[in-house]
Structure 1
């Protein structure tokens, strides 16, 4: 506990000096067990949000990326129209929004922890900290740093890129250009690939620790976002080729189970009394249907998302549930089946899916199309996903613009209510204005500035070199 608390002491950005009385780096990284505990503390804080002891969607890795990214796009709608969360739906965020602040703070908390592990291992001269553990944990930390910066950049745009826990170097950092942050993410992931194991033996076969293939999968995504389409396709192909490790389950209800064949990386949530063994989105989105209408989830699917499913798409059957409220059919995400009301005693059946194989097919399809490698191969990748959903193949005669729109559609449906993919994709492809400015709930359109969330006001006050995003 002391080790975890020592590394978890930073609560606001990366500008808090080491507290008096904390465990020193040398002591934390003196043995394999201590170093493993320090890294485990990062995962625990990411998934369980130990920042303030709350449960549910209280951090970027505990559902906030999904929920708030989904509302900023056209996926999810909050039933609490009088709440501050409704401002995400209506495109009217304020500079002091508490939810976007939590995304910022928790993502930087993970960055701080990753930097502490990297520096602590490098500084340790203990013979009881063995080389294989040094390499693996350094790889995990670099993966987590890249993963966290991916969400910071895509929610906030240019952000300070801290690569150290040295307070004197981070206290007054300016924003770093996005290209530099992406270059650092790529560097971290390339190094992580060489340091991480190529199997799941590190967690006794469970898929809850990053491996070489998690780093490869994230690298594929980041190359796509950076416009390096040839490398994006190559990295995605490397993951897809690992058929002994990764498969697309034929049964859609098996995709989000713990240690699913499709899982590239999952986070294992804690067995917390309030959560009832549920994943963050199970806690937030899965309701006891017997209590409807008195106890509905706070968030439901938008009409735009509901209507974009093709007829006979089995993903609508397996991954949503619906009810009739006030004469209107309302749909809810149902990828996770376990909520607080139906958690099994002593058994955890679902882990929180972070990265999965289907995304790699979609990344490769888009990269192939944009790199002009082969439209037929891009269509073939889309058809792999469509066949599992019970849909007909797309024709091989599609033009390039038609293939690009088909990819956008498949990403919307396959990855809905997962980690803000829809919001990020619309922004990345330049489609955000055309699609989102036409959404009825966002009328009258308040401007494109809210495609980036506001830098937390507390950070602006604390750091005179940190400039607020336009429009706030």
Structure 2
């Protein structure tokens, strides 16, 4: 927008009125309250502000999760097995879906912010050359990140690469191959202008650019316009990140500890501090994958366990993924909930809800004063019409107020554990199962309980896409975009119907339609229909 002062119109009207009553001296005074794009960006600090504005726009896209997860083997909708849902069940999904439109809008808002910084960089005087080079590189990476998410969700999308300063309505979609090419061009142009400092997790570094570029090459390798060389490129880039300066946290429990952030495994994170004013809101990941525990005796609305949010519920399959000696299960999920107050016959600290890993008999359950939900009872009605499951505690943030998204934990976007999994999949697709198994073994042995590391060694003969997807689920639950993982590997329909009971109820998934989301209808209308719709919508 050209004018930043929302009072400009009223100032003009006031000056016209005063011109017939005021003295000449008043009319000759300068109006210093009106800023335009000509006089707002006058010094090097303006470029820093534009770069910071793009990082701030990134916060909005990291607070939404539904499209990244719902309708997969790991995530479903809340409630009992009944009814229909547009996103999870793929029933009557329309271009007017608000969640889809919100996803589109937030990512294009990020693109708009980066384009403004990129376009204005040459117009702002006196920017230090090194600062300019780094800032532009950071903007290219953030723009690439936005387009990478958009192209996976929607297919070909409009490629907007410059700041828009006047009304434009005739947007058209570039094809997927062109979008991937632009993403790769941006990342490759940026990578050598970024520092390698591992302590700057809140800013884009060379490692972050390489990690994202590895993911992009991996995804393109599956496309009809990709090639086997894309997998080789992905593996090499992942290896470059693995070589340093990052390192795996020694055990998974410490990795997810709220007091261990930032840590040596983080490559790039959106940083928060619990101050919603300084952070333009807070992180909300502590609300993921939780049910309404507060309706049970001894329980209350409490920030100890957080409140359900994020629009996702784990499938029953999630809780079958972990071996007995896999430490990640206990680090990620709470199976015992304790009374938060003296009420309903419980004392604060008494066990109130328990989720055993093995099935208890009815007699064993009846002998306890608390509620017991067996592993096969996630959907058992109990008068509350909701699901029940071990609480997701991976992003525990007890400092966040109950019911608010004002969390202070960092939102990790890239970390080294994922880099190993990217390398494992890339090596497997490149035909090197031995190297793939080596990468998987490193991740699995980190997760093994002490003394059981040898049980977690991966045999190359056992490696396939399903093995890699299972390991990714165990390691990255709540972090990665599972919908994109399954779409990329061609496993979305298969694993959806194997593990998502809501989707099984409706059996509505159609691979000819639902591997892409609909282009938001309001975008098509605004473009005077120069934007075309995806097939089937």
The verdict on a shared fold, with TM-score over 0.5 as the criterion, is yes
3-state SS of paired residue (1:437): helix
Q: After superposition, what is the alpha-carbon deviation per residue over 1:285-307, rounded to whole angstroms, capped at 9, x for unaligned?
A: 57896775665514431112222
Aligned partners of 1:232 and 1:363 also within 8 Å: yes
| Residue matched to 1:225 | 219
Shift of 1:45: 2.8
Is residue 404 from structure 1 mapped to residue 465 from structure 2 by the alignment?
yes
Aligned equivalents of 1:3 and 1:252: distance in 2? 50
Match of 1:377 among 419, 422, 435: 435
Is residue 301 from structure 1 mapped to residue 314 from structure 2 by the alignment?
yes
Unaligned stretches of 5+ residues in structure 1: 7-20, 50-59
Unaligned stretches of 5+ residues in structure 2: 6-33, 222-229, 302-306, 336-352, 356-370, 379-388
| Residue matched to 1:450 | 514
3-state SS of paired residue (2:519): coil
| Residue matched to 1:141 | 139
Aligned partners of 2:266 and 2:415 also within 8 Å: yes
Match of 1:35 among 44, 47, 50: 47
With structure 2 as the length reference, what TM-score do the two structures score? 0.72
Distance 1:22 1:405, change over 3 A: farther
Aligned partners of 2:249 and 2:263 also within 8 Å: no
Is residue 389 from structure 1 mapped to residue 451 from structure 2 by the alignment?
no
Match of 2:479 among 392, 403, 418: 418
Match of 1:208 among 190, 202, 206: 202
| Residue matched to 2:67 | 68
Q: Which protein shows a greater Rg?
A: 2
Aligned partners of 2:294 and 2:300 also within 8 Å: no
With structure 1 as the length reference, what TM-score do the two structures score? 0.82
| Residue matched to 1:180 | 178
Deviates most, 253-262 or 176-185: 253-262
Distance 1:419 1:100, change over 3 A: farther
Aligned partners of 2:252 and 2:327 also within 8 Å: no
Aligned partners of 2:288 and 2:392 also within 8 Å: no
Match of 2:197 among 199, 215, 225: 199
| Residue matched to 1:441 | 502
Query: Residues 46-85 of structure 1: matches in 2 within 5 Å?
Result: 46-47=58-59, 49=60, 60-62=61-63, 64=64, 66-79=65-78
Distance 1:462 1:378, change over 3 A: same
Higher helix share: 1
Aligned partners of 1:111 and 1:148 also within 8 Å: yes
3-state SS of paired residue (1:72): coil
Aligned partners of 1:206 and 1:259 also within 8 Å: no
Indicate the RMSD between aligned Cα atoms, in angstroms. 3.3
Deviates most, 84-93 or 211-220: 84-93
Distance 1:116 1:349, change over 3 A: closer
Match of 1:260 among 263, 274, 279: 263
Aligned equivalents of 1:77 and 1:212: distance in 2? 36
Distance 1:31 1:288, change over 3 A: farther
| Residue matched to 1:239 | 241
